[in-house]
Amino acid sequence: MNDADTLATLDTPAALVERARMQRNIARMQQRMDALGVRFRPHVKTSKCIEVARAQRDAGAQGITVSTLKEAEQFFAQGFTDILYAVGMAPHRLQHAMELRRRGCALGIVTDGVEAARAIAGFGKLHGEAFEVLIEIDTDGHRSGIRPEEDALLDVARVLHEGGMRLRGVMTHAGSSYELDTPDALRAMAEQERAGCVRAAQRLRDAGLPCDVVSVGSTPTALMAQALDGVTEVRAGVYVFFDLVMRNVGVCSEDEIALSVLTTVIGHQAEKGWAIVDAGWMAMSRDRGTQKQKRDFGYGQACTADGTVLEGYVLGGANQEHGILSREGAAETDIVARFPIGTRLRILPNHACATGAQFPQYHAVSEQGRLETWDRFHGW
């Protein structure tokens, strides 16, 4: 990027972050967590960006959540020390986790099985390392974890505790909240998430096992929870940018989505009512998360260069480097005049995490239109 670049000259496709929208999203979530009386630990896998994480920390976040040890490494190098690696710990990663801890990173890890717990305890004992561990709880059948009433919960806890590890507590993620789209259903899921994790914590305590941390979180449940009694911290990630999936879930509107892809019209198929743009699935990702929701946005919602939503126009199809802009319902009769060659557009993404991952950097846009480049982490 040239220092003199503007939205009119920036090469495309490019990932844009509307700074004002992002800051409002950060403030909204932090204020809600403060009002509910819980610590907020944002999941930085959405942005994988130091500038974004600093903005979250400046607003009041305490600690961060990561999805890879490479993220932990890179955020730790930039001064973030309180880090939860919220993916089940594989034995081959224990060496890396130990090295981070011994360099001063307060890294917490997660497990949900006896075999994995034994590997953690065995490695820790061999190397004189007392890992800080959370047990993952399954509160919605969405992915991994131990159900709150399962015998395995106490089995895993005892392996860790008696093996000399620091059993910190329990954590859960109600990922099935992404499949909901009414306030009542979201509130009910938030309570199910809270109650299940709190119940698991109580079982540990009743068995004489330590459980200081009760960690829950997803963007929809965090924003819709009515009370968080018994919870000590919340994790959420996509809220910082939002996306079309979250729009369909009902926790944001299009004008709150802070991430978009700047693209240029490079051709037409006039008889089909198509404009061809230079943002294909390599820019937008192949995530079609809205396909099963109440409104399908194809590969993304089209906007003008200044971010105004173009109602009815979506990226209806995509190849690797080509996107097909079309009108929903009926073909645009004069697509060439409507979107001449060289027209700049923005496309709002289905899934901010997936679209962000397609780019090595963001171009942060101020309300005055000034651009600033923010690097993004990649890899494992």
What CATH number does residue 102 fall under? 3.20.20.10
Confidence (pLDDT) at 322: 98
Supply the pLDDT for residue 5.
Answer: 84
CA dihedral 50, 55, 56, 57 (to 10 degrees): 80
Residues 300-309, mean pLDDT to the nearest whole number: 97
Rounded mean pLDDT, 345-369: 97
290 with 207, same domain? no
| CATH number of the CATH domain containing 258 | 2.40.37.20
Same-domain check for residues 261 and 222: no
What sign results for the dihedral spanned by CA atoms 28, 30, 35, 40?
positive
List phi, psi (to 5°) of 165: -85, 165
Average pLDDT over residues 178-185: 97
Q: Which residue has the tokens 């080509």?
A: 322
Mark 23-43 as b/e (b = at least 16 C-beta within 10 Å): eebbebbbebbeebebbbbbb
What angle (nearest 5°) sits at the alpha carbon of residue 111, between those of residues 152 and 78? 160
pLDDT tens, residue by residue, 213-266 = 999 999 999 999 999 999 999 999 999 999 999 999 999 999 999 999 999 999
Average pLDDT of the segment spanning 9-18: 97
The answer to whether 19 and 259 are in contact (CB under 8 A) is: no
Cβ atoms of 312 and 208 within 8 Å: the answer is no
Full domain range(s) for residue 30 = 19-240
Q: Stretch 273-298: mean pLDDT, rounded?
A: 97
How would residue 145 be classed by pLDDT, with cut points 50, 70 and 90? Answer: very high
pLDDT at 4 over 80: no
Say yes or no: 261 and 206 in one domain.
no
The pLDDT value given to residue 3: 59
Pairing between β-strand 166-172 and β-strand 213-216 as defined by DSSP bridges: parallel
Q: Which of 240, 274, 289 is the last residue of a domain?
A: 240
Domain limit, last residue, from 187, 215, 240:
240
The yes-or-no verdict on residue 2 having pLDDT over 80 is no
Mean pLDDT of the chain: 97
**What is the C-alpha to C-alpha distance for residues 57 and 171, in angstroms, rounded to an integer?**
21
* Domain contains 1: no
Phi and psi (nearest 5°) for 300? 155, 160
| Structural domains of the chain, count | 2
Q: Average pLDDT of 88-107? A: 98
In a domain, 27, yes or no: yes
Share of the chain above pLDDT 70, in %: 99
Position 282 confidence tier, pLDDT thresholds 50, 70, 90: very high
Query: Looking at residue 29, what is its pLDDT?
Result: 98
Q: Is residue 12 situated within a structural domain?
A: no
Give pLDDT, residue 330: 82
Predicted confidence band at 329 (pLDDT cuts at 50, 70, 90)? confident
Residue 10 included in any domain: no
Whose CA is closest to 358, among 218, 237, 274, 262? 262
Domain boundary among 240, 269, 285: 240
Convert the pLDDT of each residue in 123-142 to its tens digit. 999 999 999 999 999 999 99
pTM here?
A: 0.97
14: in domain: no
- Residue 230 and residue 281 in one domain: no
User: Under a CB-based contact definition with an 8 Å cutoff, are residues 374 and 52 in contact?
Assistant: yes
Looking at residue 73, what is its pLDDT? 97
